[in-house]
Amino acid sequence: MKTKPFFWAALLLFAASGLAAQTPRQGSDDGDDYRVVPTYSLGNQMLMINAGLFVPLFFQSPAGDIRSTNLSLGGVGSLQWSAFLNNEMTLGLEGGGMFAFSPNERNLFMLPVTVRYAYILRWHPLEFPLSIAAGFNFTKLDSSFQILPILKPGASVYWNYSPEWAFGVNFIYWWSPNLYTGATPPRSQSRFGNFLEITFSALYHF
Amino acid sequence: MSHGKRFGAPAALAAIVFSVFLFSCSDDMEGVFYSLEIEEKAADNSLPNALAVSGDIIKVTAGGGITEDRYYIGAGSVFYRAASGGAWARIPPPFRGGMVAGIARAGSDIFVAVSDGSRHGLFKLDAAGTAYVPGSLYSDKQIQRLMSVNDTLFAAVGSQQGLNRDLLYWDGAALVSTGLSGHTVEAGAWDGTAYWFVGKNVFRYTGGPGNGSSTPYSHSELSGKTGFSDIFADAGTVYICTSGGDILKTPDSGVNWTSHYYSRNFTSIAKVTSGGESIIILGEDGDGVFELTDRTGNDVAAGIQQPGGNFRKLPDLYRSTVLRLLGDGTQLLAGTSSVGAWRGDYTIPDYPVWSQE
């Protein structure tokens, strides 16, 4: 159970590396086979809006014990801006939020603000960005408010509808440590939050 | 400049910032994820869960037209149920918009103070205890608190602005003066020798209920203490708590006192008994309830603790402000300011089982 997230991450990377070996066909002028494969360079940007489901996976203690989050299935949404460093890499900012409910209808809100790096594998008209985001997770439960760190590795699939517009789905893992070192709350209440974001995206290149 | 050096400084900065936030700074008692992990669904009876129980909780034993032991709660309206269990029933107010300010039983009568801000009065429930008897028994001043002390009804009255305060008692036909006036009164108790009333100050008097005086009781142990929020008498021993964090105890009607300060805002006191232990419970503002750790001598200086059992798994309870407490054998009813009433079943003293009424 402890290695679950890493197993899935490795599987995704393996699948993506196979796709990376494919060489996308370039556009040509010889008749019906003509297709425009967009390329991007430094200075190109994109905006993305994401919305979907938030799946609470588990909490993990520093000792490795896995516990239920007790949270309901939730909702998540975000806005993202990225700039191309070259045709394969983007760097950007993402802000979003999620909500889910505890057994007694308490609301958990988490609003991560992250810096996101993505490496894009292409198999036109599909794109397969592999991303990692890191930042701060503004977390609120009832009257408790904390700023936690967060890491969000993920993989996506986008279909390029046009050179400007693409649509797709994201599978983003949220890993957010909630660690304590003082007397209250005690160290024994430290937990690593593990969640999964499944979102649909609309992406605009400009 | 190499590629690695170019990204070295931002990466180091990011690592430092990330490290600073890696360990959460929190004023909370409990970890955020941890509190979710241990949370469990509260068992829930039929009393609405968003009520403010600002109008007392009492137990009425069977007798007269009342066929069963019952709990009555003043929470906007009067609600009641059989003490043995069952659903809560609501008694509609005697006039539109009327809110219960207090409920108390004296003799065979159940009295209820009702106000809507402009109208106010003292009413009585019928013999069956299920409806109001038409007509107000008293309406000169607004009743702020209603209490039964030594089986006598007392009413702390005054204007909403806190003016013209009086402590009155029911002489069988009307509310009349006790002689204590000009002071707030939050609660009262009878220790077998004297009447005690607390508010901003403490008052003690003997003789009949009308022998009160406006001169506060004084003792060196009470010096400097104020904001007395509740008083509870247990077989001659009197406990008093304050909103400032003091718990006081006198076993001999005020001759000797012990007290201890805790950094808590105590609101109320009650007692449950179970398995040969007597547990003094204190309601608190923001953290539910606390118990005196000494369950045999009830030493107020021995420390306080939050209850065991499933208490810490119920955030609505352990983060609540408890306004009123009623101890009844192994059962504790706790009325809160915004999340209704909760029941603690202390059949197993170290593992009380809490559920929402």
- Assess A41–B contact: CB distance below 8 Å, yes or no: no
Instruction: Verify whether the Cβ–Cβ distance A142 to B26 is below 8 Å.
Output: no
Q: Which residues of B lie inside 8 Å of A (Cβ-Cβ)?
A: 14, 18, 21-26, 28-37, 39-42, 314-316, 319
Nearest-CA distance from B129 to chain A in Å? 33
Looking at residue A162, its pLDDT comes to 86
Instruction: Verify whether the Cβ–Cβ distance B32 to A134 is below 8 Å.
Output: no
Q: Which residues of chain B have pLDDT under 70?
A: 1-10, 12-29
Section A28-40 average pLDDT: 60
Q: Is residue A145 part of a domain?
A: yes
Q: Can you read off the two tokens belonging to residue A63? A: 């000792």
Q: Is residue A155 part of a domain?
A: yes
Closest-CA residue in chain A for B35? A189
Domain that holds residue A201: 4-9+40-205
Nearest-CA distance from B127 to chain A in Å? 39
When pLDDT is cut at 50, 70 and 90, the band that residue A38 belongs to is confident
As for how many domains chain A has, the answer is 1
Q: Is residue A25 part of a domain?
A: no
The pTM of the full predicted model, rounded to 2 decimals, is: 0.75
Q: Is residue A23 part of a domain?
A: no
- Assess A177–B contact: CB distance below 8 Å, yes or no: yes
Interval A91-147: pLDDT, tens: 999 999 999 999 988 899 999 999 999 999 988 888 999 999 999 999 998 778 999
Nearest-CA distance from B270 to chain A in Å? 27
Q: Is residue A35 part of a domain?
A: no
Q: Is residue A128 part of a domain?
A: yes
Please say if the pLDDT value at position A10 is more than 60. no
Q: What is the spatial distance between Cα B84 and Cα B61, in angstroms, rounded to a whole number? A: 11
CB B239 within 8 A of CB B208: no
When pLDDT is cut at 50, 70 and 90, the band that residue A181 belongs to is confident
CA atoms within 13 Å, Cβ hemisphere of A98: 27
Interval B164-221: pLDDT, tens: 899 999 999 999 999 999 999 999 999 999 999 999 999 999 999 999 999 999 999 9
Looking at residue A42, its pLDDT comes to 84
Please say if the pLDDT value at position A27 is more than 50. no
User: At residue B7, what is the residue type?
Assistant: F
Q: Is residue A58 part of a domain?
A: yes
What CATH number does residue A92 fall under? 2.40.160.20
Please say if the pLDDT value at position A2 is more than 80. no
Instruction: Verify whether the Cβ–Cβ distance B29 to A185 is below 8 Å.
Output: yes
Q: Is residue A27 part of a domain?
A: no
Would you call A146 helix, strand, or coil by DSSP? strand
What is each CA distance from A160 to A42, A86, A130, in whole angstroms? 20, 18, 16
